[in-house]
Structure 1
Amino acid sequence: MTPLRLGYLYGIGAYLLWGFFPLYLKLLRPAGAVEILAHRIVWSVVFVALVLGALRNVGFLRALARRPRTLAGIGVAAVLIAFNWGTYIYGVTSDRVVETALGYFINPLVVVLLGVFVLRERLRPAQWAALGVGGLAVAVLTADYGRPPWLALVLAFSFAGYGLVKKTLGLPAAEGLFVESAVLALPALGYLGWLTADGAATFGQVSAAHTALLVSAGAATAIPLLLFAGAANRLPLTNLGMIQYLAPILQLGCGVLIFHEPMPPARLAGFALVWLALAIFTADAIRSARQTRTRTRTAATHPEPVTSI
């Protein structure tokens, strides 16, 4: 199998798992959102530690201990991803799957926005147009909900911020997830201990299947992330960007078709504007990537003449 085809399999596998993740979270009831988040953190540490141990890849911890600025960045990334995870779990368990899907639809637009204000990047006209249409979509959805779609906005901005921090850190997927989860493990264990002492924990109290599902939260978190890392190493960024819409499409389908969440005309119009913005954004990204490849091939075929002094 070619690396490109393998990359597509990894990418589609990752986004399929993320797309159907609401079905898994619904099975964790009656556990509350914070309890689920705490188990997700703790069991992620355990699962990834086993993976790294099997790969005999633990030496990176010693090197990382000598990089305090990287450790500080990991702390920031850990807080952002915990906020994102917690918000997403709350959204699914409170029957707001459609709004969580909206958050991941608008995430690419928020990434572009952060590029402007944080990295001082200059946008092309089509990118500005996509942001404008995206802003109009948020306004329409605000009118429909009677409030700004805070859940979607928190998900989009927290995940975009997490991606920005991760980009600066440059850690591999498994190592990064292990350290981020380890940073959060102590407060997560503390919360679970308090919950157990208070008699409010569901772990081990509902059924053996429920307990097993909570334990599997580590694998459910790590496996799609590792698949995504495998795809990112093999696919062009433009191709990977196209696949990323698979997850929110499936999440939206889960919300509307399986959980029967409402989709009134005004909300559908807001989503349609979001999809229009993404279509503009994606078409521009494809065109820009093609132009870059054309310039690269031209430069390789017709190099600049070397002049002597």
Structure 2
Amino acid sequence: MSESVKGSLAMLFACVVWGFSAVYYKSIDHVPPLEVLCHRSLWSLVFLLMVLAVQGRLGMLRDMLGNPRALCWIGVAALMISTNWFLFIFAVQTGRTVDSSLGYFIFPLLAVLLGAFVLGERLGTLKWVAVGLAALAVTGLTVALGAAPWISLTLAVTFAFYGLLKKQIDAGPVVSVTLEVLLISPLVLFWIWGAETQGWTAFGDQEAGAFGNSWSDSLLLMFSGVLTGGPLILMSYASKRISLATLGLLTYVNPTLQFVVAVALFGEVITPAHMVAFPIIWVALALYSAVSFAEERSARKASRNSAAVPTI
């Protein structure tokens, strides 16, 4: 099996786990969403520290902790991804997984806009058309529903800015995410203490302090660390073996599965506005992906031709 095939399978498996993770979070919807988020952060920190210890890379954390500029970027990135994680959990618990799916479909095209306006990346005409189609779909959905799909847009915005911030951090994904959850761990531990001893809930009307009440709840909350860190490691493995275009295309498996789970398993209702908006965004993503693959093929071909020209 070639390295590219291994990388593609790893990324595909990570996206399948992400896509079906809604089923897991639905199974603990009796736990307040902020409490679930805090346990997800805590146990992912434990899991990732164990992985780095086995790899002998704990020293990289110490090096990064001595870099104030990097810590600043990591802190803001932690805020973005924590908001993203919370909204996903909240969407699943409140029967709005369809909105979550829409957000992760919008994200790649929003990331393109950030690349153009913040990083100065040049976009061709067809990519601008793809972005325009997505904007049209979201605008139409807003008008039809009488309100902006705020969960979808916030998920897309936070994830897109998270990706932008990660470009400023000179560390691999496992190390950087470990630092992100490490930085917010004091807040996480403080809230878990409040939930367990003071009954804090903040969002939702569920009973607080689920950890320790039953073996099933405790194990499920602890498993969120593996569910968070495992796919991240697979993505890191894949990113070193497959092209960025292939990586980007495979990520669409995640929101597609979220959409299927929302409709087929959770029985969420799809409005006529969603039935119009989703196909438009799918067309936009297909157009963007096709252009990206074409550009990547051209770049590889040009690189091979350049390498074939003899030097004098």
Deviates more, 1:137-146 or 1:252-261: 137-146
- Checking the alignment, whether the CA contact within 8 Å between 1:16 and 1:247 is kept in structure 2 is yes
Instruction: Determine if contact 1:73/1:165 at 8 Å carries over to the other structure.
Output: yes
Say if 1:105 and 1:245, in contact at 8 Å, map to a contact too.
yes
- CA distance in 2 between partners of 1:245 and 1:67 (Å): 35
The alignment status of 1:217 with 2:236, answered yes or no, reads no
2:203 aligned residue: none
* Pairing partner for 1:203 from 211, 219, 222: 211
In the other structure, the counterpart of 2:271 is 264
Aligned pair 1:95/2:103, yes or no?
A: no
Specify the code of the residue in structure 1 equivalent to 2:154. V
5+ long unaligned stretches in structure 1? none
* Paired position in structure 2 for 1:115: 115
Indicate if the aligned counterparts of 1:144 and 1:267 stay in contact, CA closer than 8 A.
no
Give a deviation string over 1:154-208, Cα, whole Å, max 9, x none. Answer: 1111011111111221311221121111011110110111111223312222x21
> How far apart, CA to CA, are the structure 2 residues paired with 1:202 and 1:267?
35
User: What SS is found at the alignment partner of 1:202?
Assistant: coil
Give how far 1:242 is off.
Answer: 1.5
Aligned to 1:174: 174
Q: For 1:142-157, what aligned pairs fall within 5 Å after superposition?
A: 142-157=142-157
Corresponding position of 1:105:
105
Secondary structure at 1:131's aligned position in 2?
A: helix
RMSD, aligned CA: 1.3
Distance (Å, rounded) in 1 between the aligned partners of 2:108 and 2:56: 35
**Aligned pair 1:280/2:305, yes or no?**
no
Distance 1:209 1:100 in 2: 26
Q: Please give the alpha-carbon distance, in whole angstroms, between the structure 1 residues aligned to 2:62 and 2:107.
A: 34
CA distance in 2: counterparts of 1:273 and 1:122, whole angstroms: 23
The whole-number CA distance in structure 1 between the counterparts of 2:146 and 2:52 is: 47
* Secondary structure of 1:222's aligned partner: helix
Residue 158 (structure 1) aligned with residue 158 (structure 2):
yes
| Partner secondary structure for residue 48 of structure 1 | helix
Cα offset, 1:75, TM superposition: 0.8
Between 130-139 and 140-149, report the one with greater CA deviation.
140-149
Task: Report the alpha carbon displacement of residue 265 of structure 1 after superposing the two structures with TM.
Answer: 2.5
Q: How many correspondences in the alignment?
A: 304
- What is aligned with 1:245? 252
d(CA) in 2 for partners of 1:53, 1:281? 40
For 1:134 and 1:71, how far apart are their aligned partners in 2?
A: 34
**Residues 38 and 188, structure 2, Cα contact 8 Å, conserved in 1:** yes
Q: Which residue of 1 aligns with 2:303?
A: 296
Shift of 1:58: 1.2
Contact 1:173–1:229, Cα closer than 8 Å, also in 2:
yes
Q: Matches of 2:66 and 2:227 in 1, distance apart?
A: 31
Q: Unaligned regions of 5+ residues in structure 2, if any?
A: 200-207
Shift of 1:286: 1.1
SS in 1 for 2:88: helix
Q: Whole-Å Cα distance in 2 between the matches of residues 56 and 295 of structure 1?
A: 39
Q: Report the CA distance shift for 1:198/1:62 in structure 2 as closer, same or farther (over 3 A).
A: closer
* Structure-1-length-normalised TM-score: 0.95
For 1:108 and 1:29, the matched residues in 2 are separated by: 28
Corresponding letter in the other structure for 1:249: T
Shift of 1:144: 3.1
- Deviation readout 1:59-107 (Å, 9 max, x if unpaired): 1123223321111111111111111111111111111000000001011
Segments ≥4 residues shifted beyond 3 Å: none
**Percentage identity across paired residues of the two chains:** 38
Per-residue deviation at 1:147?
0.8
Contact 1:140 1:267 in 2 (8 A): no
**Distance (whole Å) between structure 1 residues aligned to residue 229 and residue 18 of structure 2:** 11
